[in-house]
């Protein structure tokens, strides 16, 4: 393990051009906002937008520094996804998978060197479930067949992962990593929210994958840098949950905009002149800010502990997962409350609260953000075994 001083030195050797203050980042956010209807209509974020995400560092944020990446501290990346999600939840969700390279760190180092041979900006997407059986091939490797669901961002990916039957310790799924052109995308993403994520099915027929292009999701990394000691699955939950922070902020900004410029359809006072509106808007703001503070405080505490050279504890993992599910649920509640406060104007298609509501509710349906995560966190807190896969 690196010494504390060495770990801190590596962790702060970041690209100064990566983050919410990076040159061009706000322009990308503005373009996302302007094009979000296009993303919904196409049911994916187009490759030219993915290229712009690459340009501001989204897809090198979790690439190891030894291969030219930034390996950003988690909070810094989460702030980027939160800001993109204010403009569009689907784009934020797709961009969030810039963190997925932490999974790839479980590949052999020689495989990673090949993967990043042409640069650190690799777009990885995957559909791990349902896990499909894979047939061992004499001499090593696997013959892969099957169909996998929910491959968010797959149409802009360079490499695609699928879950195969050879599982790792604790039942963690093994992932087979294919070049994108070796995997069929089954375009069937027809949903009510997060329409632009392009979370289509993946299909492989008689694909061969060698052992050195498979890895255990959340398995032991081959890279010794601070980011790869941060809890992998907890981070995966965080980058999805933070989408609802962005959507909730956008929803509160929208009712703020609406509050002073419109009288009711019946001639009632403007929204800002109604006591119930002011009270409920303030409560929603307080709830959102409180959940956000818990979320980032837990993130920063675990990160600093890693930099100080301490191993991550079960209690720290539980706090991260609790903060993630909590912020996802609070964010969705804030969006719903904003929608209700907006009154009859919110029912029209052109009102952005429609989009925010649909997208926020889909975020809460992800398996990483279900009620079982409260159960897992409570189990760790009370000293009993949590549900399988929680830690």
pLDDT at 360: 98
Tell me the C-alpha distance between 233 and 358, whole Å.
25
Residue 374: pLDDT above 80?
A: yes
| C-beta of residue 231 within 8 angstroms of C-beta of residue 316 | yes
CATH number corresponding to 4-104 = 1.10.540.10
165 pLDDT band, cuts 50/70/90, is: confident
Cα 260 to Cα 237, 256, 257, 273, 342: the distances in Å are 37, 8, 7, 8, 12
Residues 171-199: pLDDT tens digits? 678 999 999 999 999 999 999 999 999 99
Q: Which residue has tokens 């994958």?
A: 209
Tell me the C-alpha distance between 200 and 105, whole Å.
25
Tell me the C-alpha distance between 265 and 57, whole Å.
46
Residues 263-293: pLDDT tens digits? 556 667 889 999 999 999 999 999 999 999 9
pLDDT at 361: 98
Mind giving me the DSSP string for 242-267? HHHHHHHHHHHHHHHHHHTT---TTS
Cα 187 to Cα 119, 200, 303, 356: the distances in Å are 29, 5, 38, 24
Backbone angles phi, psi at 53, to 5 degrees: -60, -40
Class level of CATH domain 230-382: mainly alpha
Cα 58 to Cα 49, 72, 177, 214, 367: the distances in Å are 11, 10, 20, 24, 24
Tell me the C-alpha distance between 144 and 142, whole Å.
6
Q: Find out if CATH 3.90.70.10 is the number for domain 122-216.
A: no
Tokens of 100: 């997925």
122-216 against 230-382: fold identical: no
Interval 112-126 mean pLDDT: 97
pTM, two decimal places: 0.92
Residue 24: CB atoms within 10 Å: 12
Residues 33-42: pLDDT tens digits? 999 999 999 9
Strand positions, DSSP E, 196-245: 200-209, 214-216
pLDDT at 168: 62
Kindly list the domain boundaries of the chain, sorted by start residue.
4-104, 122-216, 230-382
């Amino acid at each position: 393990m690196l010494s504390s001083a060495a770990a801190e030195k590596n962790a702060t050797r970041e690209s100064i051009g990566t983050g919410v203050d990076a040159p061009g980042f706000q322009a990308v956010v503005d373009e996302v906002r302007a094009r979000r209807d296009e993303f919904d209509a196409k049911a994916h974020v187009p490759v030219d937008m993915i290229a712009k995400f690459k340009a501001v560092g989204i897809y090198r944020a979790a690439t190891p520094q030894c291969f030219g990446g930034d390996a950003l501290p988690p909070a810094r990346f989460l702030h980027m996804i939160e800001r993109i999600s204010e403009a569009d939840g689907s784009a934020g969700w797709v961009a969030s998978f810039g963190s997925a390279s932490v999974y790839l760190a479980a590949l052999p180092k020689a495989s990673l060197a090949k993967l990043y041979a042409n640069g650190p900006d690799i777009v990885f997407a995957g559909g791990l479930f349902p896990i499909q059986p894979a047939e061992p091939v004499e001499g090593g490797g696997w013959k892969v067949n099957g169909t996998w669901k929910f491959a968010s961002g797959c149409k802009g990916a360079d490499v695609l992962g699928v879950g195969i039957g050879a599982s790792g310790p604790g039942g963690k799924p093994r992932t087979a990593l294919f070049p994108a052109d070796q995997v069929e995308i089954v375009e069937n993403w027809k949903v009510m929210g997060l329409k632009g994520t392009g979370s289509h099915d993946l299909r492989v027929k008689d694909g061969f994958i060698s052992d050195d292009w498979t890895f255990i999701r959340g398995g032991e990394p081959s890279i010794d840098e601070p980011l790869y000691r941060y809890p992998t699955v907890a981070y995966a939950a965080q980058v999805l949950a933070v989408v609802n922070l962005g959507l909730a902020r956008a929803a509160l900004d929208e009712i703020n905009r609406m509050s002073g410029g419109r009288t009711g359809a019946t001639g009632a006072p403007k929204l800002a002149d109604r006591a119930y509106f002011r009270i409920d808007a303030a409560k929603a703001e307080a709830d959102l800010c409180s959940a956000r503070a818990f979320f980032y405080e837990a993130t920063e505490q675990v990160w600093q502990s890693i930099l100080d050279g301490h191993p991550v504890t079960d209690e720290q993992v539980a706090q991260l997962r609790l903060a993630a599910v909590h912020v996802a649920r609070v964010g969705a509640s804030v969006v719903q409350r904003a929608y209700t406060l907006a009154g009859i104007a919110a029912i029209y298609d052109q009102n952005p609260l429609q989009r925010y509501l649909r997208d926020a509710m889909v975020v809460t349906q992800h398996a990483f953000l279900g009620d079982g995560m409260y159960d897992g966190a409570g189990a760790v807190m009370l000293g009993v075994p949590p549900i399988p896969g929680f830690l």
